Structures are given as structure tokens and as C-alpha cells.
Amino acid sequence: MPGPGSSTLHTLKTPFKPAEPIPLPEYPRPQMSRPDWQNLNGWWEYAVQPQGEPEPDTYDGRILVPFPIESALSGVEKPLQPDETLWYRRTFTIPDSWQGQTVLLHFGAVDYECEVFLNKTLVGSHRGGYLPFTFDITAALTGSENHLIVAVQDPTDTGLQQRGKQVLNPQGIWYTSISGIWQTVWLEPVPGVSINQLKLTPDIDTERLRVEVTLRGHLEGLRIEAVVLAYGRAACTAQGPIDQPLLCSLPGPRLWSPEDPFLYDLHIRLLQENRVVDEVSSYAAMRSFSLLPDRNGHLRFAVNGKPLFLYGPLDQGYFPDGLYTPPSDEAMLLDIEYTRQISCNMIRKHIKVEPLRWYYHCDRLGLIVWQDMPNGGEIDGEFVAIISMLLGFHRDDTHRLKRFGRFDPDNRAEFKTELKGLIDHLYNAPCIAVWVPFNESWGQFTANEIGEWVKSYDPTRLVDHASGWFDQGGGDFVSKHVYVRRLYKTDAKNRAFVLSEFGGYSLKISSHVWNPGKKFGYRHYESKEELAEAYQALLKYQLVPLIPEGLTAAIYTQTTDVEIEINGFLTYDRKVEKFDREELYLLHRQLYDTFNKAVNP
């Protein structure tokens, strides 16, 4: 099997080059922004050494951060082995205007485990490949040039940690691994006492936005002020002590929905008497997600108390040249805009956590997101996959956890910690409607218990506790994956019925494939005409009849081809649309029309 660096791979490029001289130059955290910051993306030095060896005296060359070392855009395109350490090195200087302030070093994501040194001082370490982390580096700074070193290790699929679809030997639905820094690295000056985190909770019933603020550091007599703006004018101003939530009253709020994705601007100020100690800019939306019974007793997904049929693609967030990392903000946005242009109103973000700007684009464009937790643990073999899909084979996930790779209590605890971190990290994103802790049994354990905890921890959203195979009877959905058999009705009883994966119809487009010698898909077609006819029949004769029977959401596989998996609406390089865009738009509108007639005859 060809690996990274083979002549048959990486011949594809997305239509966007990374920005020069700094890739992804945009401010990376739209919901808690400050004007003063320094982007550390760009060329760093790198070296790969056997684990256990000290930092090398001489580095191997240059790597373009934040692209993972396995990607073409990194300039290295080399896999990191489980017994190796990836070293990064660069220098930076602090602006004179930052003197006297606390300086924070932020990492969007590093896969998987890292230690960070500044001027030969260890400033922190982190485990987990999908969540951001921050270190206060003030005490380690020098007055002139500062030397930053990051040491990374990544077991990929030789370990049981959360890793998504990354494998060292890519094939089928398993893709090239990524290691090291893969989201933006940046510096930010803040006051000695500063705003550390926001928690924004809309309540459309009481017409109030709840604002909770946590601080870094402590001072006596601090207060918080929140100003909510609509159309550039203050809609609410509220003040209160730091240890209590602010309740911002918004009478007659303009509600967020896919049809009207209205966002309120938000300014949060930390005050000591009349002095502004710190200030951040943010945004929020007033909206709710729920399940409501229709006239026949079927539970339907609802936005702001109104039933809505959800339709959209599975989206895995891979790029041929950047792998996990989009080559640019424009490239990331292209996928989201295309999804809206073919009249989809949702995306299932599949076992990956995107940069925060991805969620910002979904927020402002009105795409509802089902957010997966990246999988870890053990993966079931091909035999179990086949009998699960065809015959409904079932497993109890409360015992014999070795089958799921979850026999180690520390491993289960790490999953729970990272799941909580995921929810905390993305809690403020208005677009996210559903949390998905487990997918197709990979690393699944006590899904009912996990699902109940998620619902109690975040009661503002719904939960798909076990998407795909081993339903344990919990969560809000009976969640089916149907590929190689006809779509069928499922009795959901006290839950809603969704097709959380289906379709996967495939078409190979020459000169736009990752590996010309290999392909994977569930049904293969030889021309665009055949593919379009089959897709239309799938929706018209199989999907549409299920909607009056209770189907409330359907997720088609998938937005784009990914490596040798060629079942996307778009090719992997995003240069070819396999369907006529206008025809897709009209087909998808028929789904919503059918739903509206079933729910509102």
C-alpha cells in the first residue's frame, strides 16, 4: 500500500494555497477575541529522533506550522512513528508594548502528547490531540529573543487514545495519520487578572442570555459588564459581581435558525470600580433545540419549538494537501458554503474537532452541526461490521470492555475528561445541536451512562449516544447507519428516528483521485448521469417514504472524497462537483416539503 510520500499520492491540491508568509493568519478564537496578539504560524525548524533521546543539536530542516508533519503543505510529508519524538524549534520577540503584561502561549491542537519549553524552561505539557491548551509563559520570557521548543509524541493507532480515523497504514475508511501541531499557535498579552473563559446560554422562553465568566487571577471588588448588541446598537447592558451569572434581558429576541442565522454581538468587560481591567469581544445567538411529537406521535427535531427536517452530509474535514488542517480559511469555508448551496441545513462533523473558525462560519451561515467525539479504544473487525450492518448484530457495552479497548479504567477516565473538554470548548457555538459520544461501537462503553451524563452536563442540546450499531436504548435518537441494504423504518418509541449515515454512492473522477490504483465506496457508478439517477431514486423511493413514518433527520455520506474513499458530493481536491448543483438543491427542497406536509398537513 503506498504511504505518504509515494509518487501516487499527494498529486492533488485544493484550490487554495496557504497564505504567505503566515498560513491561516486569521484570529483563531472568534468568540473571545482581543485586538492585540501575535501569530506563530509559519516556518519552524523540526527534527525527528528516537524517543528518549534529548533535543538534537542539529535539526533536520524546516516545517510549515500548523500543518501536520505527514501533510504535503508541511514541507516534510513524513509519518511520525510511535517510537519517535518530533521536535519543533523557533524564536520570537515580544513587542515593547507588551511589557508589564501577562503573556499567554496558545495552541489550537497538538496530536498527541507534548512538552513545551521556553528558554530551556519547561512551561507546560499536554495530552490529547483535539483540544486547545494555554500556558502562562511570562516568567520564562527574556527581554530580547525567546527560544521556543515543542516535543511531540504520537502512538497513532498503536495506542488506545482518541485518534479518529488516523492509522499508520491507510486503507478503506482509514486515513493518513497526523502528528504534531495542526492548529494555530499564537501569543496574547493580557492583564495580570483577565477574562479566562465565557459560558453563554440562551433561554428563549425567558428571553434572556445567561453570561458566566471565569477569570485568570484574582482582585477584590471586581465586576463584570456585558453589552449585547443588535444591528450595532445596545440591546441590553448588564452588570454584576464576578461570582454570579449575568442575565441579559432581550425582549422579543430575533431567533437564530438555518433560515435566519442572526448573531448578537457581545462585549464583556472586567471592571474594578470604573476602570476597565480587561475586555473581550464575542457573539451569541438566541435559539433552542428539542424534540416534539407530531400528530401521529413521532418525535421530531425542533428549532425554537418548530419542527424541522434535518438533511446534510457527513463531513470529515480532510484535505489532500493539509490532511486535518485546511490550507486556508477560504478552503474551510468552501465546504460549508457548498453545503448550504445544495440546500442542506446541517452537517455531521465526523469524529474530528475543527478549528473554532469552522464553527463560526456554521454559526453565521446557519448550518446545524451534529458534533462527534473523536473515537479511541478498539475498532471492530470487518466481520463484526458486516453482520452489524446486515443482520443487526448487537453487543452490550457494560461488560467485557476489552472488546472495545476500554478495559483500562485510566483509559476510560481519559475519554470522559476529553469528552467534557470537548463540550466545554464548543459549548458557546450556537450551531451545535447534538453531541455524539460514540460511533459504530469504536471504543464504546456504558453509552447509556455517558449519554445521560452529557444530557445533564449540557441540557441545552440533544444526544445521539451510540450512532450506528450497538444502540443501548439511551439518548434522544434511534440512530441507524444503512449502506448496503434498502433504507428501512425503525420503531423509535420514546426517541426520534434518524439515519445518521446512509448512501455513500461512489464515482471515480480521473485525475482527481488520491490513489489511482485503489477506490472504496458502497455502490459504484461509471458516470455522472448514472450517479445522479441513482441518488435521485434513493431519495425519492427510499428516503422520502420514511419521512411521514417518523424519520426526522438524514445524513448522507459525504461532503467530499477522502483519500481512496470516493463517495463525496465533491472530489477530494474540491475541483469537481459530481452532481449538478441546482438539481441537488431542488431534490433536497423536496425532502423539506415532504416533512412539512407530514407535520403540518
Q: Mind listing the domains of the chain with CATH numbers?
A: 38-190 (2.60.120.260), 205-284 (2.60.40.10)
Task: Give pLDDT, residue 389.
Answer: 67
Partners of 102 in beta bridges: 190
CA–CA separation, 492 and 355 (whole Å): 34
Q: What is residue 6's predicted lDDT score, i.e. its pLDDT? A: 33
Residue 79 in grid coordinates: 509519518
Q: Which pLDDT does position 20 carry in this prediction?
A: 65
Position 248 scores a pLDDT of 97
pLDDT score for 383: 67
Cell of 280: 473581550
CA distances 203 to 197, 249, 344, 580, Å, are 20, 10, 26, 40
**Nearest Cα to 181, choosing from 132, 140, 147?**
132
Q: What is the pLDDT of residue 555?
A: 98
- Angle value at C-alpha 64, between 58 and 65, nearest 5 degrees: 100
- Helix, strand and coil percent figures for the chain, each rounded to 5: 20, 35, 45
Q: Distance from CA of residue 213 to its chain's centroid? A: 24
Helix segments in 394-464, DSSP class H: 409-426, 447-457
Outline where DSSP puts E strands in 431-536: 432-436, 462-463, 477-482, 496-503, 505-507, 523-525
3-state secondary structure of 290: strand
User: What are the beta bridge partners of residue 146?
Assistant: 92
Calpha distance 394→392 (Å, rounded): 6
pLDDT at 560: 98
**Residue closest to 270 by CA, chosen among 203, 316, 211:** 211
User: Cβ distance 437 to 454 under 8 Å?
Assistant: yes
The low-confidence residues of the chain, meaning pLDDT below 70, are 1-11, 18-20, 382-383, 388-393
Q: Are the C-beta atoms of residues 94 and 102 closer than 8 Å to each other? A: no
pLDDT digits (tens, 9 = 90+) for 363-403: 999 999 999 999 999 887 766 777 766 666 678 888 898 98
What pLDDT does residue 19 have?
59
Q: H helices of 38-83, where?
A: none
What pLDDT is stored for residue 581 in this prediction? 97
Alpha-carbon distance of 226 to 434, in angstroms, equals 28
pLDDT of 175 reads: 96
Confidence (pLDDT) at 16: 76
Residue 402 has phi, psi (to 5 degrees) of -60, -30
127-171 confidence digits (pLDDT tens): 999 999 999 999 999 988 999 999 999 999 999 999 999 999 999
* 113, 153 Cβ separation under 8 angstroms: yes
Type of residue found at 596: N
pLDDT computed for residue 5 by the predictor:
34
